[in-house]
Amino acid sequence: MNEDDRYVFIAEWYDPNAALQRRYQLLYYPKDASVEMYDVKNHRVFLRRTKYEALRKEDLYVGNKINVFSRHLHLVDYGDQYTARRLGSKKEKTLAMIKPDAVTKLGSIIEAILDTGFTITKAKMVKLSRAEAMDFYSEHQSKSFFNDLINFMTSGPIIAMEVIGDEAVASWRKLLGPTNSTVARSDSPESIRARFGTDGTKNAAHGSDSIASAARELEFFFPSSGGRGPKNTATFTKSTCCIIKPHAVSEGLTGKIINYILDGGFEIAALQMFTMEKANAEEFYEVYKGVVAEYPEIARHLRPRTIRAYFGKNKVKNAVHCTDLPEDAVLEVQYFFKILDN
């Protein structure tokens, strides 16, 4: 890394007080993890160069939403040719979908995705209706296996994810391995289909086969036009709310934490990735004002095998939030999967 490296992006922030979309030039200095911001319209400094270790170089790509001192900024463009050349030339988005037969292996598959260098930017557990599955797989409608494929894809929940990385379409398909899991076990034994798939249909996961297909398939699950796509799988009964906190997500701990949850005998009934505005976070945590925080250091002594003991760092960055009172569980699940999802 060059000591003089500086990356420049155009970022937008919605100002709720003025009901305006404000535009900034964001500069990031990897040498000391510092940022500065300039107000584009008013031609003035908005934030002087300040160290901000929560932001990483890996977070910087067009389309991402980042948090800088409690402001959610949307990176809409590169600010100069150097940044575009260094950070943007090979970045692609693709759809990674975990099929019904591998949902119980969700944690391990996410670990494999993150360990390969991908970033997961969107995620949602859904259960496709027959009409939705036929629409998604319409290109295979004339194939002999079409009905078996539709029956399988509607047999249980799936997880759709938007993943970003260098040459993501080809890289994700390489990680998946051959379509038939039996072939994958001989030709690519470390691949996802070799490890978690059964045959040519129950092959654990799906990946877009081209950039054009990726755009279409991502739009199906995560519409940019204001629609919702297939609905989530939340049932709001016999459930509790678990939130994997931002620091744990950015540290690549999502898969490990999900494995802990599944190994503990729990079933994940719904899953979705959210970017919370400050107002949402304050509203959600209103009932917890004045409550003593859960300290990971205490957890390490009293309950050394818990998620917070393993993955927590301090009283704020304690890896996960979980509902404290049984009567609050449904309300917290509804807040995310009904209110925020809408």
Residue 22 annotated as part of some ligand binding site: no
Judged by DSSP in three states, 308 sits in helix
Residue 203 annotated as part of some ligand binding site: yes
- The answer to whether the CB of 234 falls within 8 A of the CB of 270 is yes
- Mean pLDDT for 227-236 is 90
Q: Catalytic residue among 72, 74, 140, 321, which?
A: 321
Residue 145 annotated as part of some ligand binding site: yes
Judged by DSSP in three states, 257 sits in helix
- 134 and 216 in a single domain? The answer is yes
106-115 helix and 254-263 helix, angle to the nearest 10 degrees: 160
Residue 337 annotated as part of some ligand binding site: no
Residue 237 lies in a domain: no
Residues 250-278: pLDDT tens digits? Answer: 999 999 999 999 999 999 999 999 988 88
- 157 and 96 in a single domain? The answer is yes
Residue 228 lies in a domain: no
CATH code for the domain in which residue 71 is found: 2.30.29.170
Residues 146-194: pLDDT tens digits? Answer: 999 999 999 999 999 999 998 999 999 999 999 999 999 999 999 999 9
- 127 and 201 in a single domain? The answer is yes
140 catalytic, yes or no? no
Residue 294 lies in a domain: yes
Q: What share of the chain is helix, strand, coil (3-state, %, to 5)?
A: 35, 25, 40
Structure tokens at 246: 């931002």
Domain that holds residue 51: 7-87
d(CA 91, CA 164): 7
Q: Mention every residue, 6+ apart, whose C-beta is less than 8 A from residue 342.
A: 228
321 catalytic, yes or no? yes
- Mean pLDDT for 114-124 is 95
Please check the confidence at residue 230 and state whether its pLDDT lies above 60: yes
Higher local confidence (pLDDT), 304 or 41: 41
Quickly list DSSP for 88-116.
SSSEEEEEEEE-GGGGGGHHHHHHHHHHT
What pLDDT was estimated at residue 301? 62
Q: Catalytic residue among 72, 74, 140, 206, which?
A: 206
Residue 61 lies in a domain: yes
pTM of the model: 0.83
